Structure 1
Amino acid sequence: MKAIWNDTVIAESNDTVVVENNHYFPADAIKREFFEDSIAHTSCPWKGRASYYSVRVNGELNKDAAWFYPDPKPAAQEIQGRVAFWKGVKVVQ
């Protein structure tokens, strides 16, 4: 699987976990040079508290386009150490 934004591959892995139709990539599969820490957080009743990254490619910023659960609840342990995408990031094979 590849995560693509602004015509650039920002993550790539053959080992994604699909939860709620989102592919969660291993953290070491993301290309860190495109990711910036965000102060955003959200909460999911069964997964826990999510943290976000913004994605910057070719000078363009996609704010809070990636999320992860640093300490997921027990029901979501399979996404520990993984990152998912939205906001126009295309995930394709």
Structure 2
Amino acid sequence: MTTSEQHRVDAEPGTQHVRIVRSGQVVAETRHPLIVSETGLADRFYIPAQDVNFDLLAPTESHTTCPYKGVASYWTFRSGDGAGRDVAWAYPDPLPEVVGIRDHLSFYEDAVDTVVDADRG
């Protein structure tokens, strides 16, 4: 967790079954998402890297800096619609307050379909 007087970032483990799908193809699937809540933004699922099919993705040259999370790296689809534009991001070396997001990716909502099933356990 990181906080300031006006800004907060929380990363909590989720129990949902989350699938990231593009054109009918599963890009990522996990039962261990992180749910990242950040002031002023919608909650986001961050998917463990081991649950992402990197055969479908390629890194881009893009990097941005968030004062609350650190420097983000980006990925694009290797082919088809959306190829060449940033579709997912991660923080390979996040700030200490949010170190739990390391080795997790999140996807732009307009680039994929996110299918969420509630935990049935």
TM-score by length of 2: 0.70
Unaligned runs of 5+ in 1: none
SS of the aligned residue for 2:45 comes to: strand
CA distance in 2, matches of 1:27, 1:33: 12
CA apart distance, 1:88: 2.5
Residue in 1 aligned with 2:87? 65
Determine which of 47, 55, 58 is the counterpart of 1:25. Answer: 47
Of structures 1 and 2, the one with the larger relative CO (CA 8 A, separation 6+) is 1
CA distance in 1, matches of 2:94, 2:25: 29
SS of the aligned residue for 1:15 comes to: coil
Q: Aligned Cα RMSD in Å?
A: 1.4
Residue pair 1:23, 1:91 contacting (<8 A) in 2 also: no
Q: Name the amino acid aligned to 1:24.
A: Y
Residue in 2 aligned with 1:79? 101
In our comparison, the structure showing a higher alpha carbon Rg is 2
Number of residues of Structure 1 aligned to a counterpart in Structure 2 = 92
CA apart distance, 1:56: 3.1
Q: How does 1:42-57 map to 2 (within 5 A)?
A: 42-57=64-79
TM-score by length of 1: 0.90
Residue pair 1:4, 1:11 contacting (<8 A) in 2 also: yes
CA distance in 2, matches of 1:17, 1:85: 13
**What CA deviation, in whole Å up to 9, does each residue of 1:34-58 have, x standing for no partner?**
000100011111100000000235x
Q: Name the amino acid aligned to 1:15.
A: H
